[in-house]
Structure 1
């Protein structure tokens, strides 16, 4: 009897493409929910999210979360 847990190499080669197509077909909400897989942070966003909030920048701690 064959082991059903073994996947064909071509399946593994196309699995990521199929997931991208399914996510794109599902719509904008699923793309946003996938987070940084499809929407990587820009360097400026990463710098803002890593810096602690200060009195001179009110609300800066929420900037990185504004686009989620």
Structure 2
């Protein structure tokens, strides 16, 4: 699934830490750090950490996790 398909799906779509890292071009540990410090929101879905696409879009539009 491409970034465009994620965006078109709306805010009810969630990404894994690995997918988020790939889209943002950062390491998985950097995504985990961004979650811990509150730069990215994460929720538990089926006992896994998931990041809403809307948060990833916000970061891509101008936020920074680097």
Same fold (TM over 0.5): no
Larger Rg: 1 or 2? 1
Greater RCO (CA < 8 Å, at least 6 residues apart): 2
Which structure features the higher share of helix residues? 1
